[in-house]
């Protein structure tokens, strides 16, 4: 793993299958490195319990989401498990221009789009120790319907097949170890 020289003004992107623990890893990273700005995505998915508008997501209906797409207000967007998700363009550009490290936590199709628009961005793929462990984590979350769970598992297989496209791959078997590796990759260690 090559350490990056400086995180300032750099675009970082994290992808990995649903349930791999990206959220926990990213929260731990932000606590330790508050200079990192985490992009807040727009989505047509309904809020899960405890999720706050503007903090976890901007929750939009389809029409409002499509209007954003039509106005080129999203840097990338994709459909995932029946809902649309996208990254608002303006704040990403503003924080990068201000010299802050910017972090996107998005799925594979979006990562591919960002690779085109920000070829100098650094893209990290987070994978589970095994598929069985991933399924256990997704089911253990207990917030999604059986249908949503199967769609997420099916999608996870597609995402796991794409790890070679990424600049770095990190196995999330132990939070502290994964966090230390992430910091090293981002030039924060």
Please give the residue ranges that form the binding site for ligand 5GP (CB under 6 A): 18, 41, 45, 76, 78, 80, 85-87, 105-107, 109-110
Which of residues 3 and 23 has its CB atom nearest to ligand 5GP in the complex? 23
Which of residues 5 and 49 has its CB atom nearest to ligand 5GP in the complex? 49
What's the closest the beta carbon of residue 78 comes to ligand 5GP, in angstroms? 4
Of 78, 118, 111, residue with least CA distance to 95:
118
Tokens of 188: 């924060």
Which of residues 4 and 109 has its CB atom nearest to ligand 5GP in the complex? 109
What's the closest the beta carbon of residue 6 comes to ligand 5GP, in angstroms? 25
| Residue 143 to residue 165: CA distance in whole angstroms | 30
Cα-based torsion angle of the residue sequence 108, 112, 8, 22 in order, rounded to the nearest 10 degrees: 0
The residue at minimum Cβ distance from ligand 5GP is 110
| Residue 187 to residue 122: CA distance in whole angstroms | 11
Tokens of 24: 């926990």
Which of residues 31 and 46 has its CB atom nearest to ligand 5GP in the complex? 46
């Amino acid at each position: 793993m090559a350490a990056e020289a400086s995180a300032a003004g750099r675009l970082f992107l994290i992808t990995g299958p649903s349930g791999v623990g990206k959220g926990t890893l990213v929260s731990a990273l932000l606590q330790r490195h508050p200079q990192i700005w985490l992009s807040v995505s727009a989505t047509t998915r309904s809020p899960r319990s405890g999720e706050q508008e503007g903090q976890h997501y901007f929750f939009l209906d389809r029409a409002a989401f499509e209007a954003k797409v039509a106005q080129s207000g999203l840097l990338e967007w994709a459909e995932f498990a029946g809902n649309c998700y996208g990254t608002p363009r303006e704040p990403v550009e503003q924080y990068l221009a201000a010299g802050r490290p910017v972090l996107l936590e998005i799925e594979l199709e979006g990562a591919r789009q960002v690779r085109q628009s920000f070829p100098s961005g650094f893209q990290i793929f987070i994978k589970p120790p095994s598929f069985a462990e991933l399924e256990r984590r997704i089911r253990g979350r207990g917030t999604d319907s059986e249908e949503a769970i199967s769609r997420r598992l099916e999608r996870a297989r597609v995402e796991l097949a794409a790890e070679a496209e990424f600049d770095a791959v990190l196995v999330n078997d132990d939070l502290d170890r994964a966090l230390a590796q992430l910091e090293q990759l981002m030039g924060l260690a």
